[in-house]
Structure 1
Amino acid sequence: MKLDPRGPRFVAAVTTVVLVVVLVTGSGWLALAQTAVFAAGSVDPRWNPYALAYRWLVQPRLGPPAEREDAAPVRFAQRVGFVFLAVATAGYLSGLTALGVTFAGFGLAAAFLNAVFGLCLGCEVYLLLARARKA
């Protein structure tokens, strides 16, 4: 399956905003909602609710993408995001706020790098692991 590479960047931009709100408000429930978003994207990146918004609202206003990218690295990155936000959610909801802040901060850093610079850390880790398996 191939993806429009602008979609994951849009998803990362929305995720960045959500995680800023999580960090500002300390909302474990919003962290839980973001965890659910990552869960959907980890099954199929096209199922991420933000990706659906991109496909329905943004993509029709843009021309077709110049190229497409493999979905497997994006799926892996969504799984990494899921794990980080699951830990953040557990931290916030159990009263271990420092744990929540730390892992939400890690998620924010990764989402920000993808949204602003197109650097998907989870995708890069996926590619490194794929190369290591071949070696």
Structure 2
Amino acid sequence: MSAAVAGTALPPRPPGAVDPRGPRFAAAMTSLVLAATVLTGSVVLLGVQALLFAVTVVLGVGRGPWAWLFRGLVRPRLAPPTWWEDPAAPRFAQLVGLVVVGAGLLLAAAGVPWAVVGAAAAALVAAGLNAVFGICLGCALYRALPRRRL
């Protein structure tokens, strides 16, 4: 259904902006990977998630693997977005996720017990909050950082 048919006008898309449902979809997919990691304790799965975070940080949230899947399979089945999101905050959230799971991988390599499960569980809480409730902790941190500098 087009925005004109629905009786609402879609705001123009600013350069680089993303459909806000895309990062939430990515959080849902990330939650699945992290839940499997918590259940299995697999360092390989945590490494896969680190790689997914890294690709999204480097390419941007609109070009990451989950964004590609969202654009190709999910978004065509949805109504147009009612607003566009600046990708800076979700990209920072991906960086925070990369730091958390990266720390878990480093600690696991150093022989720290439960490092994989602990890092995956911490990241799962954040991803789950975003996926289920739309609460992005990394985005909130991104928005709070400039105020702390003053």
TM class, shorter-chain normalised?
A: over 0.9
Measured in 1, the distance between the counterparts of 2:46 and 2:109 equals: 9
Question: Equivalent residue for 2:84?
Answer: 68
Matched residue type, 1:20: A
In the alignment, which of 27, 40, 51 is matched to residue 55 of structure 2?
40
Q: CA RMSD in A?
A: 1.3
**How much has 1:123 moved relative to structure 2?**
0.2
TM-score, normalised to structure 1, is 0.92
In the alignment, which of 7, 10, 16 is matched to residue 31 of structure 2?
16
The 5 Å alignment of 1:1-135 reads 1-43=16-58, 44-133=60-149, 135=150
TM-score, normalised to structure 2, is 0.84
Which sections of structure 2, spanning at least 5 residues, go unmatched? 1-15
Measured in 1, the distance between the counterparts of 2:107 and 2:113 equals: 6
Measured in 2, the distance between the counterparts of 1:95 and 1:51 equals: 34
Matched residue type, 2:103: V
Superimposed CA distance per residue, residues 47-73 of structure 1 (whole angstroms, 9 cap, x where no aligned partner): 221111001110111121000111000
Superimposed CA distance per residue, residues 91-113 of structure 1 (whole angstroms, 9 cap, x where no aligned partner): 44554232222111110000000
CA contact (8 A) 1:76 1:122 kept: yes
Deviates more, 1:46-55 or 1:14-23: 46-55
Which sections of structure 1, spanning at least 5 residues, go unmatched? none
Bigger helix share: 1
Superimposed CA distance per residue, residues 26-57 of structure 1 (whole angstroms, 9 cap, x where no aligned partner): 11011101001000111211222111100111
CA contact (8 A) 1:73 1:126 kept: yes
Aligned pair count reads: 134
CA contact (8 A) 1:27 1:92 kept: no
**How much has 1:89 moved relative to structure 2?**
2.4
Question: What secondary structure, in the 3-state scheme, does the structure 2 residue paired with 1:3 have?
Answer: coil
Question: What secondary structure, in the 3-state scheme, does the structure 2 residue paired with 1:47 have?
Answer: coil
